[in-house]
Amino acid sequence: MENTESVAKTHDTAASLIVVGSIALDTVSTPSASDRIGLGGSATYFSAAASLLCRPQIIAVLGEDFDRSQLNFLEERGVDLSSVTTKPGKTFHWQGSYGEDLGEATTLCTDLNVFADFEPSLNASQQDCDFLFLGNIIPQLQLEVVEQSRAKFAVADTMNLWINTKREDLLRVLGRIQMLVLNEAEAQLLSGEKGILAAARKIQSLGPGTVIIKRGAFGAFMLHEDELFSCPAYPTPNIVDPTGCGDTFAGGVLGTLARHGKVCGDTLREGIVVGTALASFTIEGYSLDGLKRADIHGLRQRYATLEQMTRFRALDM
């Protein structure tokens, strides 16, 4: 286990990482609790996870109703919030409900509020960042950000709504990024392919050389150039709230890449396992409660468990 000083040094020497996305207030209902209100948003989960590995910067917008003290834990973890602005109006709000299997949320309400007029702008140093993550925001905004950026490695997330309604803008984004992270249903919809490998290869042909497909309880799959990798989900018995697991996973992947300062098969594999381990903390609590309990020691333990689960010897025959 690394001590606090060595972790800080690792963070200070990591490559720069910027996330452009949402900080939100979520209202979530699960079989065990109804209408529980908590902190949410793609940038929030992403940066909370990545902050265990580097010092991410957030570009986001808040409404006047938001209590910024809710973000104190991110500052304590070294997240740069200097580009999180406050505008007149209410904060982005999402409301969703999960069924008994907790497999996928049904969206009941999405109030964009100040996020509807969000105009992300990168300053000079941010334009030259090493790693850029475009959270699940409208593709037109993703495109505006990536066109401002000279990032060495740009990554995006997306969802079914944008694939169905903003496909042309999304395709332009795909032509400008190096990696796409999305779930299996989204990959099938975007590619028109049912098989996971065929879907990943079709998406690759649209631009990104690396495609990571999140498979929920079945883990994650990666196609990096011609290299394949798959990681199972971490076997946690305490499933409370899956909200934010995908953004947590992405934060673990990009945080690992920033920590190493390079992208290759090995760092991507490590990042996928790190992201999987961190997502298992998120699912164990409401809102950010589970992820707040995550630390380097717990991450190492779960990483080792996943490593042991997937280890096998060469076939001797």
pLDDT, tens digit (0-9, with 9 covering 90-100), for 240-284: 999 999 999 999 999 999 999 999 999 999 999 999 999 999 999
- Provide the 8-state DSSP code for 218: G
Spans of the chain, pLDDT less than 50: 1-9
How do the domains of the chain map onto residue ranges?
A: 4-309
How far, in Å, CA of 38 to CA of 55, rounded? 24
As a whole number of angstroms, the distance between CA 214 and CA 126 comes to 28
Q: Which CATH class is domain 4-309?
A: alpha beta
Q: Are strands 105-111 and 57-63 parallel, antiparallel or unpaired?
A: unpaired
pLDDT at 3: 43
DSSP secondary structure of 51-108 = TTTS--EEEEEEETT--GGGGHHHHHTT-EEEEEEEESSPPPEEEEEE-TT--SEEEE
Query: What's residue 4's pLDDT?
Result: 41
User: Which residue, 179, 158, 204, 150, is CA-closest to 256?
Assistant: 179
Q: How many residues does the chain have?
A: 317
Q: Write out pLDDT tens, residues 25-57.
A: 999 999 888 889 999 999 999 999 999 999 999
| DSSP states along 114-170 | GGGG------HHHHT-SEEEE-S--HHHHHHHHHH---SEEEEE--HHHHHHSHHHH
User: What pLDDT score does 10 carry?
Assistant: 59
Residue carrying structure tokens 């992201």: 275
Residue 198 has what pLDDT?
Answer: 98
